[in-house]
Chains A and B, each alone.
Chain A
Amino acid sequence: MKILKQITTIITLLCFTICFAQQTPASDQVKDFAIVGATAHIGNGEVIENCIITFSNGKITRIASNDVTTSLASNHEIINADGKHVYPGFIVSNGTLGLVEVDAVKASNDLSELGTYNPHIRSIIAYNAESKVVESMRPNGVLLGQVVPRGGRITGTSSVVQYDAWNWEDAVIKMDNGLHINWPNSFSRGRWWLGEDPGLKPNKNYSKQVKELGDYFNEAKSYNNGDKKEPHLPFDGLAGVFDGSKRLYINANDEKSITDAVNFAKAQGINKITIVGGYEAGNITSFLKQNNVSVFLRRVHTRPNNEDDDYDLPFKLAKQLVDDGVLVALETSGQMERMNSRNLPFYAGTTVAYGLTKEQALQLITQNPAKILGIDAMYGTLEEGKSATLFISEGDALDMRTNQVIHAFIDGRKVSLETHQTKLWKRYSKKYGVED
């Protein structure tokens, strides 16, 4: 109750300060901030107890243990965070936030495009910076994410954004730096309406589909090596994969598909490879390491794929990959993935219950995705010189029991924790006089 009161007060305060500012992105950092006394979770596995963090102009100027008394410049706004926890902003990997507002309303859906090979399709221009779903991420510490299109064999090009922006240009951190492929399925279904068994059987067209993809890449390569007099937008879209400016994300889950996918990419001379899904990646960790392949591991809160699988398999996959030294981040796709992305911290928390340390789990949603997404120079860890994209939680942010975000900053900008949802909460609590 005490915590609640505090929060309510803080939120009410915030409400006053930015009274009609719900959805209004925060303006650039003017004042310097100092967060004092918190336990800082750096994001790289380290923890600094009783920490002092200062940041100005959007960048962390200092992060250190607070045991030596240090004087702060007077312009610092000091946030006393005794007993609280500071984290780098959590990062959504393989997310689709901003591309769909309401799943069942087709008019609000910009998730995928017609066609099988769409390397030229760019998700960023459809990103809705004003989405009510996006703003609901911030109160849980989820501040950054990848915007990924879906569908087809080559789904298109992704970008990375921060979740407090006026428009997509304002939101973007890295533009068009990922290309996404759905690897052919190992299993396919019979067409029951033609009297075929509708069950899942090995996909007879698998090698044909892999070859088609290879042919497409080869053609694109030839085109990009040529004079390009006759424009070909899709082939242009693949250029970045060949020159290394785009990372190749391949959705594949079973051992064989992953192996085939990695070998395919290597044969194409591609070195920045990430497997998305990776349900059976744990069986081939040395192969993945050897080829410098990272993994966006499929959503932790899912059911096992097969009846015989360990009930906790999706919970413990991360541990095996981490133990074996694979660079892994947690991805969010699946049922109701957009609104559920705010549960990203708890996906990480679950991996702690099933083997990882809390700091290792934290890496899966901070440092590791930042590295894979190519934003680690500025984001993903709390280090001097990096962006002040961080938040303060009353308690352990990986546990819903204690995740209570009281301040969040993106590039030093103090962002609103108000949402469409908190507004309704307050309006109706007030109606009944149960504000607490």
Chain B
Amino acid sequence: MMKRTVWLLIFMCSISLFAQEYFPSNSGVIANNTNYTALINAKIHVSPTTVIEKGTLLIKEGKIVNVGATISLPSNTTKIDLNGKSIYPSFIDIYTSYGLNKPKRATGNLPQYEASRSGFYWNDHIMPEQDVMASFKYDDKIASEMHKLGFGVVNTHMPDGIVRGTGALIALNNNADNSMRVLDGETSQHLSFNKSVASRQSYPSSLMGSMALLRQMYNDAKWYADGNVDTRDLSLEALNKNKNLPQIFEANGRANVLRADKVGDQFNIQYIIVGGGDEYERINEVKSTNATLILPIDFRLAYDVDNAFLAKTLSLSDMRAWNQEPHNPRLLAENGISFALTTHGLKSKKSFKDNLMKAIESGLSKQTALEALTTVPAKLLGKSNEIGTLKAGSYANFLITSGDIFDKKTKLYENWVQGTPHIIANMNVKDIDGDYNFNLAGKVYDLTISGSISKPSAKLISGDKELGIKLNYSDDWVTLTFKTLDTTKTEYIRVVASATDSNSLNGKATLPNGNELSFYAKKAKKEVAQDKMDDKNTESKPEDEPFISPITYPNLAYGFSEKPKSETLLFKNATIWTNESDGVLKNTDLLIKDGKIAKVGKDITDKRAKVIDASGKHITAGIIDEHSHIAAASINEGGHNSSAEVTIEDVIDDEDIDIYRNLAGGVTSIQILHGSANPIGGQSAIIKLKWGESADDLVYDKTPKFIKFALGENVKQSRSRFNVRFPQSRMGVEQVFMDYFSRAKAYDELKKSGKPYRKDTEMEVLSEILNKERFISCHSYVQSEINMLMKVAEQFDFNINTFTHILEGYKVADKMKAHGVGGSTFSDWWAYKYEVNDAIPYNAAIMHNVGVVTAINSDDAEMSRRLNQEAAKSVKYGGVSEEDALKFVTLNPAKLLHLDDRVGSIKVGKDADVVLWSDHPLSIYAKAEKTIIEGTTYFDIDKDKQMREAIKKEKSTLVNLMLKEKNKGLKTQPVKKKEKVLLHCDSMDFNTTEKK
């Protein structure tokens, strides 16, 4: 048998070598093998849904000719009997960088703002023209690794850049050349949010910048395709050429899956999206993308929690991920989300099978698993007729196994690719696993052999002693080398024995003194019995129901296992700070219904309402933070001096624990502002802190449109070592605005004229400002620049809406009032940089006294949870009345955000966004007891206590499970401390909170 396989192998080799009929041969005569090969008597899984119990697979010249239970075989057929064995279509990994090396990281000192190339798109990270075949090199070694995992075909691409160019489909045929192995040199186009390491071009420096860049690129591609550009752009040409290929987007995580899909949807492109394994956390949202996913299964190892001190720093979310990740494929399948599986993301490819088994143990059906490895990727690439099944006409890519491929004990014998067998394990080797005993020189020995087919090993016991033993097994011959029983010496006995019949080993033993004895070891019968016992044991003693951590919204500590609902609530006898002409009402009731303030008054009753005694307590409108940077995955796009095209709405992070902590401080709405890296920043996200809802659902309905501008030290990069980006002075800052607004004006005029124009997101956004549809919140400090920006705006006939920080607002409060701009400031921050030398805590009071709409904001995840106290400082510094001070963090920011018709005061008909305080809301002694948004209680001080208990309990359960896993001998990983900043440095997303 063995011989035949080897012969076959050589033969196949020669077939492929001479596959190109028009190639001359100088090494002999041209001799093509056109024989048939039939694999007979196998259980054939033609496809995940079709199985032939005992059938024949007939192949010729690398392709399947026929498959069936009874098929006729031509006379020139070589037969291989696979009785008792199974045949599966071999696996396809649709997402690899097989045969490619990632380019070297570009180095240099100065920041680079311009592109390195010419004749291509203006951004180096857009490389649709990149042809994978130009750098492809077949790699036998990795191919062999993939063979062992069952893969026969891989799709490969250059894993570098935002648009990465085309991918190619490669058959892992170790005995052919690329002429045969390359099934398709242009199968797919690849994209991601990550920049190329080969270029240091700064833009984009953030996730939202990558998203904006992709959008602009699609706009430009259309403009180019329509023939509006006189010059050559090889990138856009390639992009347009690749348009009809499957578009594969590497997102690497559920939040980015949704982000990628959002970009695609805007251009009618349905990406195939590479997920991150955490899609189960937002299954409905992921489902609504309608995308087919490519799923990595790099399930994390248990953490090593032996050291209780270190283990304490593990977050519940990381611990849960360990517990929940293996369920991801099952949960996606149950929800009707189609996916392919990939080895992408695995640190060691070898763990693929273990992880696949884990997914199956966690409930993934074997059929779905097989589909995800065969028919789904084939279909995604439009290659269903060539790969993925064993239908006639397909490539002869299949696996020969000892049985069910998704069974732990099953052995993979051979992996055939294009008719070339790759031997993983000799399928004709006898399985000699078992317990044997033998007598040698009067001593009785017990020998246990295991792993005889894949990785043979032996254990030897004599009497009560275990002896060191080495075993080799090949070609039906066993050699054993073991220590003698005499422990005073280091001497060995050697055995050579043949395993001709499967129940015994027959041969010779050589003793340390050179004497040879005959050797005969007989297999004990009990192995069968043992097996049966094992079976019985598992049957009679079912394992405890495995513990699965609940998936909460969001899926971390303090998440809700069920999203809270809007209620009818009646607060009795509260002190209510209405922020309206009624002022502060004592002993007053408040009714909340259908998410709105329904009634404010005395002796309100409502049969259906949940009544809450608020005697001695205070109720205010929810706090609104005009300037926040929590709940965002990135904050600054500093790659250009204007980044109006980016929007924080693209990068909202709905699982930031600071959302919950802010709720606990009575905050209900925030404006997430872009940072202050550049004069024209990005668009804001204005959200309600509906803890548990997904990112898009946090954003206000019909949200007012805002954009962040910035002035002063940050935008002129005062603290940078490099002076290469314009502007470097306040003088230049003005000119940036003049330049952009002049261009936006021209753009808008062209657009309105009806003539064709190149769609430019940045100009669109700036036009909105000119058309008074979008408002500016501008980071500002000193009076000169504040004055300047108002003058710039006036030249273009619009108003600045808000100056934020505005620490010298008190110096130009009269001018601000005249211009009609509001001020959103810090209560008492100063001395952190030169431009706040004259910042004073009386700023809010003076601006307010002059008549400027004044707010107090946080710009800080810690301060934002005490904004009521920051407002109280205006009473201390400058003697603002308590009612007005409270408005600084409620009604006034609502006005600045154009939301005062919906929130900011307690008025019938407004959104029921309110806070129940234990004490006077401006007092340091006040605690938020309930924080309610639209009638839904998102923070409750009592519920919080219960959650703390639940977290403690769940963590100890998980710790125990991890300890169990470690004690079982499974690998663990060191404890990792979770931090808020989770972005990878490759993404150039520094994500640090803007420094004031």
Contact = CB atoms under 8 A, between A and B. Distances in A.
A434 interface: yes
A47 to B, nearest CB: 17
Interface string B1-41: 00000000000000000000000000000000000000000
A176 interface: no
A105 interface: yes
A197 B811 CA distance: 49
Given A338-B831, A434-B850, A428 B810 contact: yes
B922 interface: yes
A166 interface: no
Contact of B661 (A256, A311, A336, A425): A311
A306 B978 contact: yes
Interface in A245-286: 254-256
Contacts of A350: 924
B976 A339 contact: no
B975 interface: yes
A353 B925 contact: yes
A7 B924 contact: no
Interface in B421-465: none
B374 to A, nearest CB: 34
Contacts of A45: none
Interface stretch (A16-24, A288-296, A341-349, A380-388): A341-349
A201 B975 contact: yes
Interface stretch (B385-393, B569-577, B838-846): B838-846
Most buried by B among A8, A303, A336, A422: A303
B988 to A, nearest CB: 12
A311 B834 contact: no
B316 A104 contact: no
Interface string B821-852: 00000001111111011101110001001100
Interface stretch (B668-676, B873-881, B893-901): B873-881
Of A197, A338, A349, A400, which is in contact with the most chain B CB atoms at under 10 Å from its CB? Answer: A400
Contacts of A1: 879, 881
Contacts of B977: 187, 199-201, 306
A141 B692 CA distance: 43
A29 to B, nearest CB: 28
A247 B307 CA distance: 32
Contact of A311 (B664, B875, B925): B664
B985 A192 contact: yes
A429 B810 CA distance: 8
A311 B846 CA distance: 34
A370 B805 CA distance: 37
Given A199-B976, A303-B658, A346 B838 contact: no
B879 A102 contact: no
A426 to B, nearest CB: 9
Contacts of A202: 307, 310, 974-975
A398 interface: yes
B976 A342 contact: no
Contacts of B838: 420, 424
Interface residues of A, number: 62
Interface string A400-417: 110110000000000000
B876 A336 contact: no
Given A7-B879, A187-B313, A103 B976 contact: no
Interface stretch (B235-243, B284-292, B861-869): B861-869
A429 B849 contact: yes
Nearest to B817: A432
B976 A201 contact: yes
Interface string A341-380: 0110010011011000000000000000000000000000
Interface string A319-354: 000000000000000011011001100100110110
A432 B315 contact: no
Given A187-B977, A307-B316, A432-B813, A301 B850 contact: no
Contacts of A198: 985
B657 interface: yes
A310 interface: yes
B130 to A, nearest CB: 23
B869 A200 contact: no
Contacts of A425: 810, 840, 842, 846, 877-878
Contact of A186 (B310, B316, B872): B310
Interface of B: 307, 309-310, 312-313, 315-317, 556-557, 657-658, 660-661, 664, 713, 718-719, 810-811, 813-814, 828-834, 836-838, 840-842, 846, 849-850, 860-863, 865-866, 869, 872-873, 875-879, 881-882, 919-920, 922-927, 944, 948, 951, 955, 974-979, 985
6 contacts: A256-B309, A301-B866, A303-B862, A353-B926, A400-B876, A428-B846
Given A104-B834, A200-B979, A429-B849, 13 more contacts: A104-B713, A104-B719, A201-B977, A202-B974, A301-B863, A307-B556, A307-B557, A311-B664, A312-B664, A335-B862, A400-B875, A401-B875, A401-B923
